[in-house]
Amino acid sequence: MRAREILFLFAIGAAGGLAGDAGNVQSGMTRYLDGAGPQIWNSAWWFPILVGLGTVAVGVTRLSLGAPRPGFDFRIGIGAIAAVTAIYAISDAAFWNELNDSIGKVVLCTALAVLLACFIADVPGVLCGLGAALAGPAVEMAIVQVDLSSYAPMADGLFGVALWLPPLYFAFGVAVARITELMVARRTSAT
Amino acid sequence: MRAREILFLFAIGAAGGLAGDAGNVQSGMTRYLDGAGPQIWNSAWWFPILVGLGTVAVGVTRLSLGAPRPGFDFRIGIGAIAAVTAIYAISDAAFWNELNDSIGKVVLCTALAVLLACFIADVPGVLCGLGAALAGPAVEMAIVQVDLSSYAPMADGLFGVALWLPPLYFAFGVAVARITELMVARRTSAT
Amino acid sequence: MRAREILFLFAIGAAGGLAGDAGNVQSGMTRYLDGAGPQIWNSAWWFPILVGLGTVAVGVTRLSLGAPRPGFDFRIGIGAIAAVTAIYAISDAAFWNELNDSIGKVVLCTALAVLLACFIADVPGVLCGLGAALAGPAVEMAIVQVDLSSYAPMADGLFGVALWLPPLYFAFGVAVARITELMVARRTSAT
């Protein structure tokens, strides 16, 4: 990948992470603890950096898994970002009057993540999604373990993090893989 | 239909019904009453069987209504299942602080069911959806009448069942009709 | 535009406005004040008229902005109406136990509006959406200013109206622009 492509992936990951996390913090779904450091919007300063780095890592992984599909259409990329952001925002919602890991919320986030994959993913994209669904929650578990943040008491059923986190990261991985394909396709179409 | 196709329809109907109903029961939206018998996950044992049989019935109906469209793409089938599951999960949500038949929830479920039909239905598929929207709630009204289950007090405005039930069954009928078409198309593509 | 096309746009705008506003009023999200006049369903009599006129205005604007795309498929039009109605219905929902301008709700409505545009909009359609996102909330601010209606106390952060109103109107403008294109394309296909 070219330097400006890496910067672009980092920037959209950081921006999307900030917007989604702002809603999570405002709703009380997640909380930064003493020692998490200075804030950007509602997030600790290191949160958008981690999401941005994760976005670059998914992009690199996608390219290592096989040739990207040709064809550039920026609407696919914007739509993919919008879809992940929508799932992130749904994770704020209190289904039946409390912030929790309700089956309904987890099933809804999972169904929407799968629907996104049906629209845009190829096999390497699904692998990127699965990788993100493993690595993302694992990093968040570690952050919770070292007392930098915590999830709401009824929404921490997966080793301290929320049960809707794996489908959210799956959608994230699928979307970033597709955006990476579009970036490569744009090189050719711009030539 | 071939035996394994019938089994397949039964299995996805039973599995989807269990996942959706688990959320409805957990949220208090639906409740099984004394006499409903032993449970599977959160449902009475007969619930997944009824949904599985209904799924097979929709598939048979679809084939009797005209030739299925050609073209096999398993992503359409998975996406259809995900869309119905998403509507099912939304039916758990307490819009404005109680479990009810709020206009917003009924309109949302209806709009999403219509959107699904716009993406995947042909005319026989719409007829399957309408048939399911009549038959499904009718069966559930009978189940409520014989005191095997009940809906939450504010969510039973349609003769004892929820007002969002017809759009959910419409989406179910549309999705199963499309999946049946895909099964038939797969026979040819596999040959 | 032909007279019956103008009537058609007016009618779907008025009907959609009534269905969406019914949920907003029922949930307590919006309230008509003394002096707003007699009601139709849950709305003041002038509300569907304003939405209908706004729908016609968007249609006229779309045609003034360039040639509509060819190709008639009524499913695109119905799907567009369903998508806007879904966003309208989501605006009723109490995210985390109160009716408010939560970041999650505003981000969700914005993401879904953008997703709709990615599916159906061309450049003039996006301009219609942006115009509607400016004009619609401005008219509603004026209505609130003259004490004909009000938004819930925690959901009036944009000069008296809700923060999710601009994305809702953006989706409305994008959908009406596309429906106008389909109406023009239908003239040719019907010939």
Q: Of all residues in chain A, what percent carry a pLDDT higher than 90?
A: 87
Tens-place pLDDT, residues B138-179: 999 999 999 999 999 888 999 999 999 999 999 999 999 999
pLDDT higher at B91 or C98: B91
- Whole-angstrom distance, CA of residue B22 vs CA of residue B73: 29
Residues of B in contact with A118 (CB under 8 A): 75-76, 78-79, 82
Q: What is the pLDDT of residue C162?
A: 95
- Whole-angstrom distance, CA of residue B30 vs CA of residue B24: 6
- Whole-angstrom distance, CA of residue C131 vs CA of residue B117: 30
Query: Which residue among A95, A114, A118 sits closest to B92, beta carbon to beta carbon?
Result: A95
Q: What is the pLDDT of residue B96?
A: 66
The C-alpha torsion from B8 through B13 and B18 to B23, rounded to 10°, is 140
ipTM score for this prediction = 0.95
Average pLDDT, chain A: 94
Pairing of strands C39-40, C43-44: antiparallel
Tens-place pLDDT, residues A30-79: 999 998 999 999 999 999 999 999 999 999 999 999 999 999 999 999 99
Q: List chains touching B (3+ CB pairs under 8 A).
A: A, C
How close C15 gets to chain B, by Cα (Å)? Answer: 13
Q: What is the pLDDT of residue B191?
A: 57
Among A85, A128, A129, A91, smallest CA distance to A109 is for: A91
Tens-place pLDDT, residues A115-162: 999 999 999 999 999 999 999 999 999 999 999 999 998 889 999 999
Q: What is the pLDDT of residue C60?
A: 98
Q: Which residues are within 8 A (CB) of B122 and not within 5 positions of it... i.e. 6 or more apart?
A: B69
Interface test with B, best of C30, C42, C43, C85 (most B CBs within 10 A): C85
- pLDDT interval class at A190 (50, 70, 90): low
The token duo for A25 is 């913090």
- Whole-angstrom distance, CA of residue C83 vs CA of residue B113: 10
Q: What is the pLDDT of residue B189?
A: 74
Residue A19 sits at the chain C interface (C-beta within 8 Å): yes
8 A C-beta contact, residue A145 and residue A120: no
Local structure of C102: helix, strand or coil: coil
Which residue(s) pair with A31 in the sheet? A150
Among C35, C36, C42, smallest CA distance to C17 is for: C42
Q: What is the pLDDT of residue A119?
A: 98
- Whole-angstrom distance, CA of residue C2 vs CA of residue C6: 6
- pTM score > 0.90 for this model? yes
Local structure of C151: helix, strand or coil: strand
**Sign of CA pseudo-dihedral B67, A119, A68, A133:** negative
Tens-place pLDDT, residues A151-167: 998 889 999 999 999 99
C-beta atoms of A114 and B78 within 8 A: yes
DSSP string, A114-161: HHHHHHH--HHHHHHHHHHHHHHHHHHHHHHHTTSEEE-TTS-TBTTB
Calculate helix-pair angle for A3-27, C103-120, nearest 10 degrees: 140
